[in-house]
Structure 1
């Protein structure tokens, strides 16, 4: 199963350098957001995609994300940090994997 990343140029370049096979870069223009919506729909339908990482800001612009079991869609912070705050991210991780993140 593939991991796919959708987000701004800095985020996708970082993941590409880390070895992620598929990355899709989008800015926040209306045309780019519509392209991102279409790409997300396409990725959700593919059987070879297991995880879609999407930046929180892009997800917010796209609007409602599909609710599917697979692939797993995870929102990640971009270079500016989380728009939801660190505490919410810690809670999401705690619920997802049962481990609390402490500094």
Structure 2
């Protein structure tokens, strides 16, 4: 009879939610399907540190990361640019934004932001 461990291993190889990693000539993992997508984090130091320690943080060969630590010195433009960079990446499936950061950087419809323009149409 098959042991539970080997049975789980065989199930895991057949299950599309647990893809078998493959490597290219350079040793980098290829994305087999959407379950290999990363989580990106924009938040305060405690939030980002927790996610990075949990294994979410990654840095590619060009130095691009999938996280941004926001503090009192971080400019709105920097947060917006990082968000758009993350949203444009094909390897990121979820962008987690700390609520306090989202409240601080949400567009203000009274200042002619995109929400006001959409409302006037």
Q: Which TM class, normalised by the smaller chain length?
A: 0.5 to 0.7
Whether contact under 8 Å (1:26, 1:33) holds in the other structure is no
Partner of 2:51: 15
Higher relative contact order (CA 8 A, sep 6+): 1
1:32 is displaced (CA, Å) by: 2.6
Superposed displacement of residue 14, structure 1: 0.8
Q: Aligned-residue CA RMSD in angstroms?
A: 1.4
How many correspondences in the alignment? 63
Q: Please list every run of 5 or more consecutive structure 1 residues that lacks an aligned counterpart in the other structure.
A: 65-103
Structure number with the higher strand fraction is 1
- TM-score by length of structure 2 reads 0.48
CA distance in structure 2 between the aligned counterparts of 1:46 and 1:18, rounded to whole angstroms: 21
TM-score scaled by length of structure 1: 0.55
Please say if 1:34 is aligned against 2:53. no
